[in-house]
Amino acid sequence: MEKVLKQLYQEIDKIEEEIIEIRRDLHRHPELSFEEERTPKFIANYLEKLGIEVRRNVGGRGVVGTLKGGMPGKTIALRADFDALPIQDKKDVPYKSTVPGVMHACGHDGHTAALLATAKVLTKYRRNIPGNIVFIHQFAEEKPPGGSRYMIEDGCLEHVDAIFGCHLMSTLPFGNVYYREGYLQAAADVFTIRIKGKGGHGALPHQTVDPIIIGSQIALNVQSITSRKLNPLEELVVSIGSFHAGETFNVIPEFAELKGTVRSFKPDVRDMAETNIKKIARLVAEANDASAEVTYERGYDSLWNHTAETNIVQKAFRNVHGVEEVLETEPIMPGEDFSYYTQQVPGSFFFVGAQMENSSAVFPHHHEKFDFNERAMAIVAKGFCSIIFTYDQQRDVVDHIS
């Protein structure tokens, strides 16, 4: 195994410039969730040229490639997402987005390039590959209901024994890899509270039912869900991100609207938050002679990493050239629809540090100047290769734990 992995690492180093150029091409031509056309064609064509069996239009716009190895073994899936965001690219770089108002502001172009590189080097060493490798290129990760569930319904996980995926992290040090067993990312829900009061003149508030005052009370009261309804050892975030009412300074409006998000890990905590938001909105409104309509939309489920597969990630990256440290991370609150894959088959999702060397160029995900250290893509590709062989070596342990 060590000899083959060393050769695979060398092959990845040889094509690093190609990996970067693929990423930059995708970065110049971003496509929004559920609108991807050029990107899946590019991916499918690339895989077919490698001699990999390809399924197009999986679940809608997804691409699945299957490489049959020359050695006996299990079937391992590797996943990358490829959609972009509705953000104007304001970086001053040659590979800046050419699509107005759309950019890869989360690293999905890098995930795609890294997985294509993985496919390329593994194909060259097909005879040494244990089992089968399934390359899942997923559309629409950024926009619920997301692409993963559609791809799963269309069979992308058929005969798959385990799945692995990663996220490049622009704010984490380059060379570090981060894993976590159990909950890694939160369920991400959205709610809207529409309050109907009674409008009138701002100088005569006693003749009105002020939805702004009522909305303010609701916004303050929902904060008590976390502080007073939840065990302080549990995790929950309830945030109001939008509050709109009225058009001018001297008129009390009839309507006010609040929008917010709930982030949680455990299903019972999620249920409790939804129930209490609806209850608070209804009772506060009624106490003020108004009414409140609540729309609560459940986004992605929380992401759970399985024990055996997470142990594989740890062990695999300790053997990857270029990795400085392999560290356990805390759970984070952003959502990720990789969660639906690990509900179906055992798997693990991990983070790869991709911080820019120049500190002035470090920006968070979903920022108009987002970028990442492109050398991190080679680490991802090497890690995927190492996971495949580490998994094969640990098959008996995995079967026992899973």
Show which residues are catalytic. Answer: 83, 141
DSSP codes joined into one string, 208-238: SB-HHHHHHHHHHHHHHHHHHSS-TTS-EEE
Cα–Cα distance, 266 to 298 (Å, whole number):
13
Question: With the C-alpha atoms ordered 341, 132, 380, 94, is the resulting torsion angle positive or negative?
Answer: negative
User: What's the number of CA atoms in the CB half-sphere (13 Å) around residue 125?
Assistant: 22
Cα–Cα distance, 395 to 308 (Å, whole number):
10
DSSP letter at 186?
-
| Cβ within 8 Å of residue 289, ≥6 positions away | 197, 198, 209
Cα–Cα distance, 81 to 71 (Å, whole number):
28
Cα–Cα distance, 217 to 69 (Å, whole number):
61
CB atoms within 10 A of CB 66: 16
Question: Helix, strand, coil: what percent of the chain each, to 5?
Answer: 40, 30, 35
User: Residue 13 pairs with which residues in a beta bridge?
Assistant: none
Q: Is the peptide bond before 145 cis (omega within 30 degrees of 0)?
A: yes
> Collapsing DSSP states into helix, strand and coil, what is residue 53?
strand
